[in-house]
Structure formats: structure tokens, C-alpha cells
């Protein structure tokens, strides 16, 4: 990307999402406002394990590649533990830190001699980003520059924070009471303002179902899950899976839980049968999966069709998938030969 109005090259790291382009434009305005020649913005949210370069302006490709390496952002944070707007001269940086490679190999040869770096934190005190400004002029950044960065820091934090994007997506399901971010690698992170729930913990069947949906490119999905192991107790929760394009580099999606879902008089077993119908299973396959007789499955299918007012098993499956009115089968782990 290139800003024709200023002549500064802007690099967008990772997937070219709308938020990444907005971040590059914001950095350009910040550099112009404070009189700096280059700037960068990295996400640094330990709750999500997010450590990556978002965008930069005026630095060049070699510098941005180093900034995007694992370990660079934590090292930058260690250099400026005081947080917001701590000015440093390049020559005063401690030895033995990862970011010395950035300064010595890329920024110093490019003529950058001073800079200002801020560790940005949200309202709860969590660090969510690091923003850096560099200049080719020897004097350290002035108090006016510090003031500008301090005044803009809250806006930059809100615009950059992956958690803010996730919470905005979560508000699409206003009745949800619990929710987690599905972090790449199989872990989860409870969303601020929402409750924890046993169904949403790493390794549970519900998390495996959600991961399977994201793996095949699902954007949104709704389904039911029993809140009790008893087949007599028909209580179910509704789970809503949402993919998260803007922060897909760090998080696969959101899984939100709404308690006490309406099962439309369908029994726990009928909801299981519906899940297998949605998966394209035959009566014989369903019988084998549930360890019941094929005749019992046929009876369940008849009851399901009547309750959903569906003229065929195929239509029943379509209606169930559309309304999220089924309990999906859990994906089986692939076993390499």
C-alpha cells in the first residue's frame, strides 16, 4: 500500500483485513502529526497469545519482517516497562535483546536515530498493543510529542485491541450469557463481561464441534447441547459459533452460549438423531452410532418429521440445520496410519 498524499510506504502485515488498512492509515496520520519518519503497531495481548505486527509506515520491508518475528514484541515491552510514551535513544538500548537486531540491522542503517514507544493498555490494565515512532533526527522526542501520543493512546488501543473486535462480534448474540474466543492451537479465552461455563473449556466435545466447523470454513453456526448427562433431563443450551475475519490471525472464532434453549418438544434422543440426519447419516448408520435397533431409529425419525412438520427426512434435516435445532455429533480424531 502507498499513501500518495504523503509519499510514505505503508506495509500491512498478515491478512489484508479492513482493520489492518485502517491501522496503517492511522499510523501515517500519527507520524505526520508528531513529525516522525516511521511508525509501527504490533498487537500484544497475552490473554489471546496475540503477538504480531499489524502495520507500519516508512520502515521498509526488512524492518517489518523483524518486527513480525516471534519474540520481538515481548522484547520491546521489556525495554519500555513503564508503558506509555517512554522516549529512548537507540544507543541507550540494553544489550542482548531481540529488538537490537531490528535497530542495528534495519533502523540504524536507514538513518533512524531516536524514537518513542508506548505499551498500550485497556481499561482493565491488560496490555493490548505496542506502538512505535522513529525519527532520523538525533534529538529525543519532545514533550509535545509525548502529549500527542498520550492523548491518542486510548483511541489507538480501542482500534487495535483484538478483544474489542471480539466483543463487538459477541454483541450480535445479545442473549448469550457465556462465551469464549477459540484461540489457534486449541486453547480458549473467556470474553470479558461473559461468564465461564464448563461446556466451553478446552477439550470439551462442544469445543471440538466448533473447531471442526471452523476447519471447514463455517462462518456462522447454531446448535444445541445438553446441559446434563441424563437423557431424562431435556435441558439444552444453544451454542452459536461465529468466525472472526478481522482478527483471524490470532483467533479462529467465537463460541457463545445461551442457556435454556427451546427444543420445540423434541426429546434429547430426537435431537441426537437430528444431528446425525444433518450429517447425512442413514438409519442404519444412526442405529450403529447410537447402539439401538434400526426400527427404533425409524420411529425417532417419524416423530421428528411430525414435530417439525417436515414431509421428508431431508427436509427435517434442512429445517433443523437452519434453525440450529439439533445436537451435532462430535468429530472423531484423525488417527494417522
What is the DSSP secondary structure assignment for residue 250, as one 8-state letter?
T
CA 78 to CA 5: how far, in whole Å?
35
Q: Measured between alpha carbons, how far apart are the two ends of the chain, in Å?
A: 46
Of 23-37, 85-99, 160-174, 237-251, the poorest mean pLDDT is in 85-99
- Using only C-alpha atoms, the chain has a radius of gyration, in whole angstroms, of 26
For residues 264-285, average pLDDT: 95
What is the pLDDT, as a whole number, of residue 31? 87
Between 336 and 163, name the one with better pLDDT: 163
For residues 83-105, average pLDDT: 52
CA 97 to CA 79: how far, in whole Å?
8
- Nearest-5° Cα angle at 260, 259 to 261: 100
Cα–Cα nearest to 273, from 241, 303, 233, 309: 303
CA 4 to CA 288: how far, in whole Å?
65
Residue 70 has pLDDT above 90, yes or no: no
- Domains of the chain (ranges plus CATH)? 2-160 (3.30.450.40), 165-323 (1.10.10.10)
Between 85 and 5, name the one with better pLDDT: 85
Are 68 and 13 within 8 A, CB to CB?
Answer: yes
Residue 165 has pLDDT above 70, yes or no: yes
Are 226 and 240 within 8 A, CB to CB?
Answer: no
Are 209 and 328 within 8 A, CB to CB?
Answer: yes
Percent of the chain with pLDDT over 70: 79
Residue 140 has pLDDT above 80, yes or no: no
What is the DSSP secondary structure assignment for residue 98, as one 8-state letter?
T
> In what side-by-side order are the strands of the sheet with 188-190?
188-190, 178-183, 251-258, 236-243, 220-226
CA 98 to CA 101: how far, in whole Å?
6
Neighbours of 127 (CB within 10 A): 19
Are 42 and 129 within 8 A, CB to CB?
Answer: yes
Task: Give pTM, 2 decimals.
Answer: 0.77
Where are the alpha helices (H) located in the chain, listed in sequence order?
Answer: 18-34, 61-67, 72-79, 99-102, 143-160, 162-170, 205-215, 268-278, 283-290, 294-308, 313-323
For residues 280-297, average pLDDT: 95
CA 97 to CA 150: how far, in whole Å?
26
In which band, very low, low, confident or very high, does the pLDDT at 19 lie, cut at 50, 70 and 90? Answer: low
For residues 189-196, average pLDDT: 91
Most confident of 166-170, 232-236, 249-253, 311-315: 311-315
In which band, very low, low, confident or very high, does the pLDDT at 83 lie, cut at 50, 70 and 90? Answer: very low
Are 258 and 225 within 8 A, CB to CB?
Answer: no
In which band, very low, low, confident or very high, does the pLDDT at 17 lie, cut at 50, 70 and 90? Answer: low
What is the pLDDT, as a whole number, of residue 144? 74
Between 85 and 128, name the one with better pLDDT: 128
For residues 298-305, average pLDDT: 96
Q: Give the SS3 label for residue 34.
A: helix
In which band, very low, low, confident or very high, does the pLDDT at 230 lie, cut at 50, 70 and 90? Answer: low
Are 325 and 271 within 8 A, CB to CB?
Answer: yes
Cα–Cα nearest to 228, from 191, 201, 254, 259: 259
Grid coordinates given for 221: 453456526
What is the pLDDT, as a whole number, of residue 302? 97
Grid coordinates given for 13: 502485515
- If you search the block for the grid coordinates 412438520, which residue do you land on? 309
What is the pLDDT, as a whole number, of residue 177? 95
Beta bridge partners of 26: none
In which band, very low, low, confident or very high, does the pLDDT at 6 lie, cut at 50, 70 and 90? Answer: very low
Residue 102 has pLDDT above 70, yes or no: no
Max CA separation in the chain (angstroms): 84
Residue 176 has pLDDT above 80, yes or no: yes
For residues 236-261, average pLDDT: 89
Amino acid at each position: 500500500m502507498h499513501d500518495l498524499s504523503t509519499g510514505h510506504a505503508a506495509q500491512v502485515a498478515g491478512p489484508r483485513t479492513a482493520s489492518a488498512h485502517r491501522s496503517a492509515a492511522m499510523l501515517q496520520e500519527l507520524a505526520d502529526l508528531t513529525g516522525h519518519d516511521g511508525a509501527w503497531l504490533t498487537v500484544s495481548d497475552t490473554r489471546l497469545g496475540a503477538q504480531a505486527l499489524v502495520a507500519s509506515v516508512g520502515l521498509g520491508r526488512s524492518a517489518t519482517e523483524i518486527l513480525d518475528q516471534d519474540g520481538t514484541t515481548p522484547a520491546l515491552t521489556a525495554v519500555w516497562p513503564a508503558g506509555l510514551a517512554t522516549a529512548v535513544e537507540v544507543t541507550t538500548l540494553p544489550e542482548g535483546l531481540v529488538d537490537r537486531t531490528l535497530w542495528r540491522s534495519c533502523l540504524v542503517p536507514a538513518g533512524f536515530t531516536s524514537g518513542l514507544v508506548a505499551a498500550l493498555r485497556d481499561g482493565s490494565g491488560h496490555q493490548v498493543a505496542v506502538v512505535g515512532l522513529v525519527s532520523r533526527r538525533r534529538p529525543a522526542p519532545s514533550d509535545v510529542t509525548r502529549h500527542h501520543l498520550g492523548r491518542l493512546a486510548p483511541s489507538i488501543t480501542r482500534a487495535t485491541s483484538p478483544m474489542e473486535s471480539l466483543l463487538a462480534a459477541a454483541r450480535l448474540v445479545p442473549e448469550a450469557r457465556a462465551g469464549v474466543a477459540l484461540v489457534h492451537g486449541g486453547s480458549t479465552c473467556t470474553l470479558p463481561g461473559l461468564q465461564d461455563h464448563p461446556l466451553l473449556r478446552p477439550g470439551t466435545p462442544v469445543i471440538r464441534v466448533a473447531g471442526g466447523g471452523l476447519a471447514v470454513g463455517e462462518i456462522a453456526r447454531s446448535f444445541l447441547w445438553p446441559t446434563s448427562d441424563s437423557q431424562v433431563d431435556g435441558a439444552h443450551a444453544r451454542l452459536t459459533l461465529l468466525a472472526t475475519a478481522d482478527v483471524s490471525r490470532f483467533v479462529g472464532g467465537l463460541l457463545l452460549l445461551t442457556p435454556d434453549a427451546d427444543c420445540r418438544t423434541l426429546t434429547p434422543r430426537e435431537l441426537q438423531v437430528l444431528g446425525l440426519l444433518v450429517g447425512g447419516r442413514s438409519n442404519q448408520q444412526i442405529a450403529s452410532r447410537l447402539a439401538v435397533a434400526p426400527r427404533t431409529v425409524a420411529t425417532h425419525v417419524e416423530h421428528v418429521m411430525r414435530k417439525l412438520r417436515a414431509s421428508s427426512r431431508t427436509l427435517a434435516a434442512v429445517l433443523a440445520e437452519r434453525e440450529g435445532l439439533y445436537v451435532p455429533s462430535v468429530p472423531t480424531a484423525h488417527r494417522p496410519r
